[in-house]
Amino acid sequence: MKLNELTIKEAVEGLKGKKFSSVEITQACLDQIEKHNSEINAFIAVNEHALDEARRADEIRESDSNSPLLGVPIALKDIYMTKGLRTTAASKVLENYIPQYDATVVRKLKDAGAVILGKLNHDAWAHGASGENSDFGPTKNPWNTDYVPGGSSSGSAAAVALNMTIAASGTDTGGSIRQPASFTNTVGLKPTYGLVSRYGIIAMASSLDSIGHLTKTVEDCAIYLNVTAGNDPMDATITKNRIPNYLEDLNKGVGGIKIGMPKEYLGSGLDPRIKENIEKVIKKFGELGAEMVEISLPHTEYGLACYYIIQPAEVSSNLARYDGIRYGYDRSYFGDEAVRRIILGTFTLSSGYYEAYYKKAMQVRTLIRQDFEKAFEKVDAIISPVSPTPPWKLGEKVDDPLKMYLSDAYTVIANLAGIPGLAVPSGFIQHQTFGAGFIGDLPRSDRGLPTGFQILGPQFSEKLLFRIGHAFEQTQERRICEI
């Protein structure tokens, strides 16, 4: 196996056992980036000091081997502030912005010894579900470059899927980690709101933003969360709870665990291939000894409408500071999607409309939260599809924002409720062949496109989600993406 294909766990073990050096893994990742980035466009910038950092990690290794990520190369979505390293939010507005400080999570990752490979592409300001809203060009799905990798954490998903990095950070405001993870055969975690610090990460919609990551395995996801979770004096919304060791219950299996299936999630609008896939997942959990229970989340149908009121409202306020007076370029540099959300949000917050829109949406949000509270009285966790459809072709939905928004239907609910969601790969599904098209015209079609499902749990139940996800993952074969 090539070094860039390692998981975090394998990398840490190998580094500890001196089987290879951080410089070697880092070089392998950089080579892979060099080889494929021009086509995939996952990275906006590569950190030119990455090898120096790896060298330093190898030196430190001589005296300290307790740092959990020492020498492990990772990459960051380009809305994480990195001191001295350009951070663009994938927007022309911040094309030349060099941050003065590190985000709390970046500092925690650095303290844990991680090597920063570079900054990853995404939909500008994290607005989008396909990666196509980036001002630095769209990212392509490495499993089939005609297709989108999902978004907004498009570069994170593509880079992890194609082994350009060992793991990557992301942000999830309405599905921006889970959906691209499910489109690229990677594992994505949206943590509980308030578990991981938002300080130093460009805000999209502050009451919904969750700071998570994408990895190659569920276990890696837990290792990474062990580093990023927990108290931060710079974020007033962070939990004061004691942070557990997220690896603790990983191998306990799902025997006796009650898993709910919301009946509303398998209704109309769901692509039959996704439905078929999720039914297989349900069956598998049954075989693993979990107790599958049908539940109801009656307010799900209002989730999307509620989300597309609250989110643009907060976006309109959060983007106000980018006026070009102190840093960055002026407002004429905002792309269409940002402008769309600024206008929507400004409208719904305007006097005379606030009660009808924002306030009402906040009330619906409470109902959605209560749906989950009731559900979690009956079950330990819930599983559902991530995206109602498989990945779509680049350009397919660019001109239809509403269609693009609909792809968030299953994911926004967790953000509205503030609960954690873990996206786990559940295999590959075949393309639809259109009309008289020849299979031979679709060079990678025989490989199919990845899909995944999500596990939702009560607030701060990440340990349980990892346990359930890991149990399922053990039944699957890991596939290496090759171009």
Partner 1 sequence: MKYKPVIGLETHIELKTKSKMFCACSADYSGREPNTHVCPVCLGLPGTLPIPNKTAIEWCIKIALSLNCNVSNISKFDRKNYFYPDLPKGYQISQYDEPFGLAGWIQLKDKRIRIRRVHMEEDTAKLTHQFGTQNSKLKTQNFSLIDFNRSGVPLVEIVTEPDFENAGEVTEYLQKLQQIVRYLDVSNADMEKGDMRLEPNISLAVSEQGLAVGNKSQQPKAKSQLPPYKVEVKNINSFRFVAKAIEEEIVRQSEILDKGETPLQETRGWDENKNTTVSQRTKEEAHDYRYFPEPDIPPIRFADSQISNIKSQIPELPDSKRERFVREYAIPVYDAEILVRERSDADYFEQTVKDGKKHNLTPKQVANYIINKKPNIEKTVPAELVELILVTQETKELDKEELEHAIELVLEENPKAVEDYKKGKTQVLGFLIGKVRTLLPPNSSSEGIRELIEQSLK
Q: Does 101 bind partner 1 (CB under 8 A)?
A: yes
Query: β-pairing, 258-262 with 291-295?
Result: parallel
Among the listed residues 38, 63, 66, 100, the single contact to partner 1 using CB under 8 A: 100
d(CA 34, CA 164) in angstroms, rounded, equals: 9
Q: Which helix (H) or strand (E) holds 425?
A: strand 421-429
What is the Cα 201 distance to its own chain's centre? Answer: 14
Instruction: Pick from 43, 246, 308, 358 the residue near partner 1 by CB under 8 A.
Output: 358
Q: Give yes or no for residue 206 binding partner 1 (CB under 8 A).
A: yes
Task: Point out which span in 95-103, 172-180, 426-434, 467-475 binds partner 1 (CB under 8 A).
Answer: 95-103
Shortest spacing between CB 78 and partner 1, in angstroms:
11
Given the residues 9, 77, 119, 190, the one annotated as active site = 77
Rounded to the nearest whole angstrom, what is the least distance from the CB of residue 287 to partner 1 in the complex? 42
Radius of gyration of the chain (CA): 21
Using the rule CB under 8 A, give the single segment among 44-52, 199-207, 280-288, 443-451 that binds partner 1. 199-207
Site mask, partner 1, residues 311-350, x = CB under 8 A? Answer: --xx-xx-xxxxx-xxx------------------x--xx
Per CB under 8 A, 69 contacts partner 1: no
Catalytic residue status for 65:
no
Q: Which of 198, 213, 397, 470 binds partner 1 (CB under 8 A)?
A: 198
Smallest separation (angstroms) from partner 1 to the CB of 135: 16
Of the two residues 97 and 372, which places its CB atom closer to partner 1 in the complex? 97
Among 16, 19, 52, 354, indicate the residue that binds partner 1 (CB under 8 A): 354
Active site residue 77: yes
Q: Report the residue from 54, 72, 76, 103 that binds partner 1 according to the rule CB under 8 A.
A: 103
Whether 358 contacts 348, CB under 8 Å:
yes
The reply to whether 126 sits near partner 1 by the rule CB under 8 A is: no
In the bound complex, what is the minimum distance in angstroms from residue 232's beta carbon to partner 1? Answer: 9
Choice between 99 and 191, CB closer to partner 1: 99
The least distance separating partner 1 from the CB of residue 44, rounded to whole angstroms, comes to 15
192 binds partner 1 (CB under 8 A): no
Among residues 21, 153, 169, 176, which one is catalytic? 176
Confirm or reject binding of residue 201 to partner 1 (CB under 8 A): yes
Between strands 167-172 and 210-215, the pairing is antiparallel
Cβ–Cβ < 8 Å for 127, 174: no
DSSP 299-350: THHHHHHHHHHHHHHHHHHHGGG-SSSSSS--GGG--HHHHHHHHHHHHHHS
CA distances from 432 to 150, 439, 478 (A): 18, 10, 24
DSSP 143-212: T-TTB---SSSHHHHHHHHTTSSSEEEEEESSSTTHHHHHHHT-EEEEPPTTTB--TTB--SSTTT-EEE
d(Cα 137, Cα 118) in Å, to the nearest integer?
17
Cα–Cα distance, 223 to 194 (Å, whole number): 18
Contact 388/407 with Cβ under 8 angstroms? yes
Q: Where are the alpha helices (DSSP H) in 331-441?
A: 336-349, 360-378, 401-406, 412-417
Residue with smaller CB distance to partner 1, 329 or 428: 329
**Site for partner 1 (CB under 8 A): how many residues?**
42
130, 134, 152, 154: the catalytic one is 152
Q: Is 152 a catalytic residue?
A: yes
Position 368 contacts partner 1 (CB under 8 A) = no
**Structure-token pair, residue 173:** 């405001």
Extract the tokens encoding 355: 């009660």
Pick the stretch among 2-10, 94-102, 263-271, 444-452 that binds partner 1 (CB under 8 A).
94-102
Nearby residues of 362 by Cβ (< 8 Å), 6 or more positions away? 310
Q: How far is the CB of 319 from partner 1 (least distance, A)?
A: 8
- Of the two residues 26 and 192, which places its CB atom closer to partner 1 in the complex? 192
Q: Which residue, 272 or 352, has its beta carbon nearer to partner 1?
A: 352
Q: How many CA atoms lie within 13 A of 47 on its CB side?
A: 28
Binding residues for partner 1, rule: CB under 8 A, are: 79, 81, 87, 89, 94, 97, 99-101, 103, 198-203, 205-207, 233-237, 313-314, 316-317, 319-323, 325-327, 346, 349-351, 354, 358
Q: Give the active site residues.
A: 77, 152, 176
